[in-house]
Structure 1
C-alpha cells in the first residue's frame, strides 16, 4: 500500500469515529429530551388535576394538597383558559404591562404547537391547560449541538496537531536521507574527478573526456542539491529564460530523440530570485515526468509569460494526462504511478518552489490522452 493510501485510510477512520461519536451524542440527548418531556407532561397533568379539584371544592385536607401541587410548579410555563380561550390563570410567564392579551394569545399558539393541551372536564364547564417547555428542557434541546460543536473543534485541533507532527517527521526523514545521499556521493565523485584527470594525462579521446566531465559535474550538482535540502539556500538574481534553457539543454542530449522541445520565451529578460541548483532540479523533474507520460515520444512545450510582478512558466506534454481529482494528489509524498521510485519528485518540487522561492507550482490543466500542463509562478525582481 502506498503512503498516500495509508494517509487517506487514516483520515477516513478518523472521520468515521467522529461521525459515530456525534450520532451517539444526538441519540442519547434525544432520548434524555424525550424522557424529560414525558416527565413534564406528567407534572402538568397532575397540576391540571389539582386545578380540577380546586374548582370542584373538595374538603380542606385535599384542598391543602392541591394548593401545594399548584404552587410547586416553578419551572414549566402554563396558561389556564376556559372553553372560549379566555385566560383564567398563568404561571411562570413574565407578562408585559402593555398588550398582555396579544402577548398571551401568541404564547398559547406557541404552546399549542409544542405540546398538546390538556382538557379539564368539570360537570358544568370545561377548562384547557396550555403549557410550554421549561428552561431546562429547552437547554437540553440545544445541548447535543453544543456537544457536536465542541467535539468538532477538538477533532479539528487533534487532526491538525497529528498532521503537523506527521509532516515534521516526514521532513526529518527527507532531510536526513538527502544529506546522507550527498555525503555518500562525495567520495565516488572525488574519485571520478581524479580518474578524469588521469585519463587526460594518457592522451585519451578528448571528446569522450569532455562528456565524462559533464556527467561528473552533473553528479556534483546533484550532490549539491541534496545537501541543500533542509537548509535555507541563498537565492540569487537570475535571468529566468536562461536558467530554463540551461536546465533543459542538459536533458535534451540524454533523452529519446523522439521527444521534441518547443520554446515560447519572451525577448525581454525576466529576472527572478532563485537557487540555481534547486530550481534546475524542479525543471528536470517536470521534464522527466513529461517524458514518462509520453512514453518517450511526443512534444514538450515550454512557455514563459508574465503579468504584473509574476512570471509564469508552463511545461506542457502530449502524454496520457490525468483526471481532475489527481491534480493535488500528484504532489503528495509517496504518490507515484511508476513501478519504481519513491514518489517524492513532485512533492520535493512543490516544497522547493513554495518554501525556497516564495512561488507556486500546480497542475494548470490536463486532459486524458491529450496532455498535462504544470505551471510555476515566481515573483519578478
Structure 2
C-alpha cells in the first residue's frame, strides 16, 4: 500500500474539493447562461405573437373568424410557456399553459367582462396576470401608434427546471463527496485492521519455524541416543536464535529505507535452502530441495529483506506440496539479452488456476485454510518496490506445480 505524507494527503483532498467546486460552478454558470438564452428566445417569440395577435384582433384586418380560429389553434395552442393575451383594458382574451382551461368562459362573455369587477371564474386568470407581470414586463401589442392589448408571459417548465438544475447538481455532488469520504474512511479503517491482524499472523508464522526448531533441538538434547554432537546442536540452536532476531529486525525494517550492499545472490539462496532442509521433517513430508546455480555477478540488495522474499516463496512452495513427497528447485542464472540475473523457485505442488494466478499477489488473497495472504504480496513488494526488480509467476498448471521468476538488473536496479 502506498502511503502519502500527511501534507500530500491534505493537498490531495484539497484538489478533490477544488475540482468538485470548479465543476459545480462551471455547471451553474453554464446553466444560467442557457436559461438567459431561453428567456431571450421566449421574449422574442412573444413579441412576434404580440404583433401578429394585434393584427388578427382588429376588425379591419381579421378577414374572417376562420383565420382567427386558425391563429388560436395552430399558434397559440402550441406555445410551451405560460402566456395570457389581454386587450387594452387588461381583460384576458386568450391564455395558455396557466393551469386554467380556455373553455371556462366564452368569447362573448369575455368581451362583456368589466376589468374592475371580473367574474369569479376569471379571478385566477387575473391573479396569474399579476404573477406573470412580476416575472416579466408585459409586452404591448401595437397597431401603428395604438396599443390594442398586452402579452403577459412567464417562464416555461424547461426554464424552471433548468433554474433548479445547479442546486440539484450541487446536492448530488455534495452527497457523492460525503459518501465517497465515508467510503474511503471505512476502507482505510478496514485495511488498517487487516494489516494489523495480518502482520500479527505473519509474525506468528515467521516465529513459528525457529521456535519449533528450538523445541526440536531441546528434544534431541533430552534424547539419550544423541544422534548429533552437542556442538552441532548448539550451532543449530544458535542459527535458530539468530533467525528469531532476524524476524524481529525484519518487521522493524518495514517502511524504513533499505540498506543496499553488493552481494552474491547464490550464497544467500544456498543459505536459505540449507535452513529449510534441516527443518523439513517437521512438515511431515518427504520434500527435496535442490539447487542449480550458474555463475552470476553480484547485485545491490538489502540482504535481510531479499532473504525474506525468498523464504516466502519457498514457504509457499512447501505449502503447495500437499502429498507425501515433493520437490523444490531453486536456480539462478544470467540473462543474455540484458545485464540482469534470473532466480527461479519451482515446485511440483498443486499449481494454480488462471484465476488464482491473477489474484496471487493481491493482499489478503489465499487458498490456505489458515493463511492471511501476505507472503506473496510482501515478497513482490520487496523485490519490485525496494529493489526495482520483477517478481512474477512464470508458469503454473493445476496438478503440475508453479514456477516463480525473479528478475533483477545487475546495474541500476535500485529505484
Question: What is the TM-score with the length of structure 1 in the denominator?
Answer: 0.53
Aligned to 1:236: 260
Is the 2:198–2:374 contact (alpha carbons within 8 Å) kept by the matching residues of 1? no
Residue 167 to residue 52, structure 1, CA distance change in 2 (3 Å): same
Deviates more, 1:304-313 or 1:363-372: 304-313
Aligned to 1:120: none
Which of residues 59, 65, 71 in structure 1 aligns to 2:113?
59
Deviations 1:79-117, CA, capped at 9 Å, x for gaps: xxxxxxxxx968457xxxxxxxxxxxxxxxxxxxxxxxx
Whole-angstrom distance in 1 between the partners of 2:135 and 2:346: 72
Which of residues 302, 311, 314 in structure 2 aligns to 1:274?
302
Displacement, 1:354? Answer: 6.0
Task: Give the secondary-structure state (helix, strand or coil) at the position aligned to 1:59.
Answer: coil
Displacement, 1:219? Answer: 0.9
Displacement, 1:287? Answer: 1.6
Is the 1:272–1:378 contact (alpha carbons within 8 Å) kept by the matching residues of 2? no
Deviates more, 1:347-356 or 1:246-255: 347-356
Which of residues 404, 409, 412 in structure 2 aligns to 1:374?
404
CA RMSD of aligned residues (A): 5.3
Is the 2:270–2:291 contact (alpha carbons within 8 Å) kept by the matching residues of 1? no
Is the 2:383–2:389 contact (alpha carbons within 8 Å) kept by the matching residues of 1? yes
Aligned to 2:11: none
Residue 260 to residue 163, structure 1, CA distance change in 2 (3 Å): same
Task: Give the secondary-structure state (helix, strand or coil) at the position aligned to 1:225.
Answer: helix
Aligned to 2:131: 72
Gaps of 5+ in 1: 1-39, 77-87, 94-130, 197-203
Displacement, 1:133? Answer: 1.6
Aligned to 1:297: 326
Displacement, 1:223? Answer: 0.7
Task: Give the secondary-structure state (helix, strand or coil) at the position aligned to 1:319.
Answer: coil
Whole-angstrom distance in 2 between the partners of 1:310 and 1:158: 45
Residue 258 to residue 226, structure 1, CA distance change in 2 (3 Å): closer
Deviations 1:233-252, CA, capped at 9 Å, x for gaps: 65231233432233224434
Displacement, 1:269? Answer: 0.8
| Paired residue total | 285
Whole-angstrom distance in 1 between the partners of 2:386 and 2:334: 21
Aligned to 1:159: 183
RCO higher in 1 or 2 (8 Å CA, sep ≥ 6)? 1
Displacement, 1:44? Answer: 1.9
Is the 1:47–1:70 contact (alpha carbons within 8 Å) kept by the matching residues of 2? no
Whole-angstrom distance in 1 between the partners of 2:373 and 2:170: 43
Displacement, 1:286? Answer: 1.3
Whole-angstrom distance in 1 between the partners of 2:268 and 2:180: 43
